[in-house]
A and B are shown apart, each in its own frame.
Chain A
Amino acid sequence: MQKLLIGILVVMSTLGSGLLLSGTAFADTAQPGLTLQGPDKVREGYFQLRVDGVAEEDSFVIELASSEQFATVENTFSPLGAFRQLSLSGFDDGRYYFRAVHSGTGEYSNIHQLDVVHYPLWQALSLFTLGALLFISLLVTMLILTRRSARNHKEPSHG
């Protein structure tokens, strides 16, 4: 019985670690031409964008604008080396428009629209307060138990 339970235990451990195999990577949907992919909505202000349809020796930049017409390009981002994906962070609440531009041909990708909607502050502060109370409870508990244990000279008898 114990061996059976141990077998189940080992399988469960492996499955537990394997849960992440469900994956968070982008869907690898190759399309003709320059294409830009990314999430539609994020709640933490950070995200990844990925460009397909660029040869390995070619380069590109990603442009950011606050309007779909790209009247003003507010920032540009270059990927690292030969990577076709890049990570951005620290974005405030708002709607952002991105497009990739082929550095050689000047070809534009599709325009990708992304909404950043941060969690409400009350929710964050509630969890912060809860965490602080729990942490203080743990500290107080450890202090009380350690002192009580130090006072009790009888236990453990083999110590």
Chain B
Amino acid sequence: MDEFALDARVGFAIIVVFGLAWITFGWFLGRKTTTHEEFALAGRNVGFAFASATAMATWVTSNTTLVAPELTFQFGLWGMVGYSFAALGLILFAPISARIKTLLPNGYTSGDFIRLRFGFTAWCLFMVISFVYALGWLVSLGMAGGILLQALSGLDYHIGMSAILFICVLYTLFGGLRAVIATDFIQALIIITGVVLVAVLLLTNVGMPEIHQNLADHHPRLLDLLFPAAIMFLFNNIFFGLGEIFHSNVWWSRALAFKQKVAFRAFLTGGLLWLPIPIVTGFVALAAPQLGIFPASPDMVGPTVAAAVLGTAGAVVVFIVVFSALASSLDSLLAATSDLLTRDIYHKHLNRKANDKTLFRANRIAIAGLGVATWILCLPQITTLAALLNFTGAFVASTIWPIVVGLYQPRLEGKYAAGAMAAGTLCGLAGYFLIGFYVAALIACLVSAVITAVGVYMSKQHFDWDLLNEKEHTE
């Protein structure tokens, strides 16, 4: 394959048209937002349809549309199937979200819970983990935008990356969480329709026997269910997904924004809707060798194969689907991370007397600042998407046990939670650098589990859950 599926000008035109549409929609939805709580948590009144759609759409991201094919290209069948297990993160977060909503009726962020439940030291560690993860994910999304345009149209990576970041920052800035959730709903419809369309067209255009024969002859490990690195990757990916969702304010802010009875059903539905998507997006990568497609970087394989099989019209569909997926995650992450900066750092530690108007302004400055920081970190295309994301796995997987146990078990003291997160992260990073990215989250989770268990056994406190119901003091 020598030519790109799309003319660079067509690719850029799609970005401009959709970008303007999202920005206008964000402005329209955000024009009536007057308070910081409305901006940050959409008035805590999101219903089931929007809640399920935002849960699914936010989780369909560069992970699903670019990394699932990348991992399938590298790990074969296990990469594809194993990646879909990340749906367990959403499904298992369903009961946790209901618990969060009950314990923290006035909460804003995941940082609120850690600060009130485990104290300042654990909160500091948790914030480091959250920001490393948020920046890692933001950078991966920015990179994905650049890679997408480059793979489909040959347009310079830096132009695509800058354009997508600029658009998402702008409409999140205008609309806050209400706009984020509403655009997620539309983006979810686009994603589901597009993915089903691509799957149907692929199955009718590419012969399964030919794909299988080519893989068996020239790339046999991709069909091997005893592929060692892929086997090691499987549970690592599950713990990575659990850690991502259990700790991230992207999901906590949604749990707090949904109506009381909605959170459980919404996350469960979102997870079940998400489950088959990596299978479809990952499957396209298996056709790459048969089509003679050997991308410069493995994270380009998904859109490249889809465009090659489906032609220009298919490339346009793929482009719109991936662009929607990126936007639905970027906006959520910008909103949730800016909430952490505004609420946890600015309001709770730098300016406790800040009024609603000041917090509103601080939140918007945080969104813009995060956008600029992400753009700077995206400039050097330092690594592949999967490697970048899995680097953060060592951090997030260390939070799973302290959060789960901390939400239900009153004995666990903050020093053990902090120890579990610190030791888990350090051991996970050691695994990442000494063995490979496919063990980082597993090691982090294991070490954290042991320390949390010791903590429950050794702790003598009986935490008063009422302390989590923090009253607001903003004017």
CB–CB A134/B445 < 8 A: yes
CB–CB A23/B295 < 8 A: no
The 8 A-B pairs with the shortest beta carbon distances in the complex, nearest first, are: A131-B235, A90-B219, A13-B131, A145-B408, A156-B465, A124-B228, A90-B222, A83-B296
Instruction: Tell me whether B468 is interfacial, beta carbon within 8 Å.
Output: yes
Contacts of A118 in B (CB 8 A): 221, 227-229
Within 8 A of B (CB), among A95-123: 118-121, 123
Contacts of A149 in B (CB 8 A): 99, 408
CB–CB A127/B296 < 8 A: no
Contacts of A137 in B (CB 8 A): 449
CB–CB A123/B387 < 8 A: no
Nearest Cβ distance between residue B82 and chain A, in whole angstroms?
11
Partner of A23, one of B383, B401, B405: B383
Instruction: Tell me whether B393 is interfacial, beta carbon within 8 Å.
Output: no
Nearest Cβ distance between residue B300 and chain A, in whole angstroms?
7
Contacts of B235 in A (CB 8 A): 127-128, 130-132, 134-135
Instruction: Tell me whether B197 is interfacial, beta carbon within 8 Å.
Output: no
CB–CB A24/B218 < 8 A: no
The residue on B at minimum CB distance from A45 is B221
CB–CB A13/B154 < 8 A: no
Instruction: Tell me whether B257 is interfacial, beta carbon within 8 Å.
Output: no
The docked-state distance in angstroms from the alpha carbon of A117 to that of B232 is 15
Instruction: Tell me whether B354 is interfacial, beta carbon within 8 Å.
Output: no
Contacts of A17 in B (CB 8 A): 131-132, 135-136, 139, 377
- Give me 8 A-to-B residue pairs in the complex whose CB atoms sit less than 8 angstroms apart, sorted by A's number: A20-B383, A23-B383, A85-B296, A86-B295, A90-B219, A134-B445, A138-B449, A157-B466
CB–CB B228/A119 < 8 A: yes
Instruction: Tell me whether B231 is interfacial, beta carbon within 8 Å.
Output: yes
Known contacts A90-B222, A134-B446, A135-B238; is-contact A127 B231 (Cβ 8 Å): yes
Contacts of A10 in B (CB 8 A): 131, 345
CB–CB B297/A87 < 8 A: yes
Interface residue ranges, B against A (CB under 8 Å): 1-4, 73-76, 92, 95-96, 99, 102-103, 105, 120, 124, 127-128, 131-132, 135-136, 139, 151, 154, 215, 218-223, 226-229, 231-232, 234-236, 238-239, 242, 289, 292-298, 300-301, 304, 345, 349-350, 373, 377, 380, 382-384, 387-388, 391, 395, 400-401, 404-405, 407-410, 436, 439, 442, 445-446, 449, 465-466, 468-469
The docked-state distance in angstroms from the alpha carbon of A12 to that of B125 is 10
The docked-state distance in angstroms from the alpha carbon of A90 to that of B221 is 4
Contacts of A19 in B (CB 8 A): 391
Quick one: which of A17, A118, A155 has the most chain B CB within 10 A? A17
The docked-state distance in angstroms from the alpha carbon of A25 to that of B388 is 13
CB–CB B382/A148 < 8 A: no
CB–CB A87/B295 < 8 A: yes
Nearest Cβ distance between residue B197 and chain A, in whole angstroms?
24
Contacts of B239 in A (CB 8 A): 131, 134-135
Instruction: Tell me whether A89 is interfacial, beta carbon within 8 Å.
Output: yes
Nearest Cβ distance between residue A106 and chain B, in whole angstroms?
18
Contacts of B409 in A (CB 8 A): 145
The docked-state distance in angstroms from the alpha carbon of A20 to that of B140 is 12
Nearest Cβ distance between residue A15 and chain B, in whole angstroms?
9
The docked-state distance in angstroms from the alpha carbon of A76 to that of B159 is 32
The residue on A at minimum CB distance from B153 is A81
The residue on A at minimum CB distance from B220 is A92
Known contacts A92-B221, A149-B408; is-contact A21 B391 (Cβ 8 Å): no
The residue on A at minimum CB distance from B260 is A159
Nearest Cβ distance between residue A12 and chain B, in whole angstroms?
5
Binds B, one of A1-9, A27-35, A65-73: A1-9
CB–CB A85/B73 < 8 A: no
Known contacts A90-B220, A156-B103, A159-B102; is-contact A16 B132 (Cβ 8 Å): yes
The docked-state distance in angstroms from the alpha carbon of A156 to that of B139 is 39
CB–CB B124/A5 < 8 A: yes
Contacts of B382 in A (CB 8 A): 20-21, 23-25
Nearest Cβ distance between residue B103 and chain A, in whole angstroms?
6
Quick one: which of B95, B231, B388, B404 has the most chain A CB within 10 A? B231
Known contacts A89-B73, A128-B235; is-contact A2 B220 (Cβ 8 Å): no
Contacts of B388 in A (CB 8 A): 20
Contacts of A132 in B (CB 8 A): 235
The docked-state distance in angstroms from the alpha carbon of A132 to that of B239 is 10
Nearest Cβ distance between residue A10 and chain B, in whole angstroms?
7
The docked-state distance in angstroms from the alpha carbon of A59 to that of B3 is 12
Quick one: which of A9, A10, A18, A123 has the most chain B CB within 10 A? A9
Nearest Cβ distance between residue B397 and chain A, in whole angstroms?
10
The residue on B at minimum CB distance from A10 is B131
CB–CB B221/A145 < 8 A: no
Nearest Cβ distance between residue B220 and chain A, in whole angstroms?
5
Contacts of A43 in B (CB 8 A): 229, 436
The docked-state distance in angstroms from the alpha carbon of A9 to that of B227 is 40
Contacts of A86 in B (CB 8 A): 294-296
The residue on B at minimum CB distance from A11 is B128
Partner of A90, one of B154, B215, B395, B442: B215
CB–CB B405/A78 < 8 A: no
Quick one: which of A12, A43, A90, A120 has the most chain B CB within 10 A? A90
Q: A23-B382, A78-B2 are in contact. List 5 more A-B contacts (CB 8 A).
A: A5-B124, A13-B127, A80-B151, A131-B239, A159-B105
The docked-state distance in angstroms from the alpha carbon of A44 to that of B128 is 31
Known contacts A81-B2, A83-B296; is-contact A16 B234 (Cβ 8 Å): no
